[in-house]
Amino acid sequence: METEQVKHTELTFQLIVESSPNAIILVNKEGKIAYMNSQTEKLFGYERSELIGQTVEQLIPARYSQHHPGFRNMFFRAPAVRSMGVGRELFALRKDGTEFPIEIGLNPVVTVDGTLVLASIIDITERKKAEERFRLVVESAPNAMILVNHEGMITLVNKQTEMLFGYERNELVGNKLEMLIPQRFSGNHPNHRESFFKKPQTRAMGAGRDLFAKRKDGTEIQVEIGLNPIETTEGNMVLASIIDITERKLQEITLKKQVELEIKNKELEQFAYVASHDLQEPLRTVSNYMQLFEEDYSEKLDEQAFKYIHAVNNATSRMSMLIKALLAFSKLGTNRRLVSVDCTKLVKDVLSDLQKFIKTSGAVITVSELPTINVYETEMRQVFQNLIMNAIKFCRKGIIPEVRVDAEKLADKWQFSVKDNGIGISVSHYTRIFEIFQRLHTTAEYEGNGIGLANCKKIVELHQGEIWVESTPGKGSEFFFTIPPLTV
């Protein structure tokens, strides 16, 4: 009765093994194949009779087979259900000599003949092909792509990721994603990741929020991130597509500034228009009546009265000039048209216009080779004219003015400079001098209406550039301004 039960159990075992969709091999302690199913025949190309009684090393490539007996002995010393070669790629050898990648599950089986090991073998060739196709797609993507598991560990990156973040691939894979996140955000990121894995779906990350990433050198970049859940044999993962939008954000800020500037310019132009018409008329009336008063009552007025009249005339005249200057300031850039301009020739034309002023002052002016760039020609002429005139005008007494005009090509723009040996400017006034009608000296000391540098600032900003000054009081100043590439 017991014998029949054993036979029935063996028959049931054989039926189960034969019906398995995977290749099944039963191996004894010596490594000899005791049993195999039909799937093993199909997978390896052997007849059953060719393998039964042979060592399992016959199915292993030569470069691995010499080490296999040692691994087998280790398993039999502590038999347990487990995967074989965890963390390593495994290959099997067919009868025709071809190799193919496999996964193996090991199960100890206790029999009357001792403990055997049941090896379940799966051909993962197609899976490997699919993984390779996935890897190639990720690698060829134009954006940085990072594959992250549930624990936040980076398992795959592409070349664009290396280029964007400045890390080598081996520095990223196996490390936490938080290494690419600024410290002020990284603390909360695991919670966001956990939330995503609870309800994974394709979506943009941080919708409505500004996102930042951190490069290897510590610099931050603004990014857009798309999240895609991926099911793998190692569990659910997320594929993050990362786009550097730093430049786009800068353009948005620039555009916003331009819109704000246009609004301010329109408001200023409207004010200046009203001022030029509504204020000039009362000024002309005052001036006319003062002239009549002087003519009709000249015989009755003493010297002090004439001084008062002269002061009023000077004030109205200066006020009229300021209004005209304000109107001109408001109109800067209203009829803009970009043209290609040789700045060397432009500066020479400016110097020609200022020839009398230069000759009177005895100024020595040096102009280096300047570039040809796209600018608003009339406005750019004003910039050079104002800076050069100021460099000559604000000179120390008894010193011959020396002025140098230079240009330097930076990474993404041209930087111009106008340097002098004049009176210099205190650091506390660096910002104030670019404000309209702001003067550091009286008209008795230096002529002017306090609008020249304000004009320069407005014109440079119309070109999407910046202007600033560096100076040492008593030794001179150097004004810098930048002009980025502009398309005609």
How confident is the model over 13-53, as pLDDT tens digits?
677 778 788 899 999 999 899 889 999 999 999 999 999 99
Residue 163 has pLDDT above 70, yes or no: yes
- Architecture field, domain 335-488: 2-Layer Sandwich (3.30)
Percent of the chain with pLDDT over 90: 27
Mean pLDDT of 108-119: 85
Q: How many residues does the structure list for the chain? A: 488
Residue 232 has pLDDT above 50, yes or no: yes
Mean pLDDT of 98-112: 88
Mean pLDDT of 474-484: 93
Angle CA 9–12–18, to nearest 5: 140
Mean pLDDT of 164-191: 88
- 2-123, what's its fold? Beta-Lactamase (3.30.450)
What does the DSSP assignment read for 317-343? HHHHHHHHHHHHHHHTTTT--EEEEEH
What is the reported pLDDT for 84?
A: 73
* pLDDT tens readout for residues 2-19: 555 555 556 666 777 787
* pLDDT tens readout for residues 72-86: 888 888 888 888 755
3-state helix, strand, coil in the chain (%, to 5): 45, 25, 30
Give the C-alpha separation, 94 to 288, whole Å: 113
What is the reported pLDDT for 466?
A: 93
Give the C-alpha separation, 105 to 159, whole Å: 35
What is the reported pLDDT for 444?
A: 47
Give the C-alpha separation, 455 to 433, whole Å: 11
**What is the largest distance, in Å, between two alpha-carbon atoms of the chain?**
155
pLDDT grade, residue 348 (50/70/90)? very high
Q: What's CA 231's distance to the chain center, in Å?
A: 31
pLDDT grade, residue 259 (50/70/90)? confident
pLDDT mean across residues, the chain: 83
The reply to whether CATH 3.30.450.20 applies to domain 128-244 is yes
Give the C-alpha separation, 292 to 288, whole Å: 6
* pLDDT tens readout for residues 288-309: 877 887 778 777 778 888 888 8
Give the C-alpha separation, 50 to 95, whole Å: 10
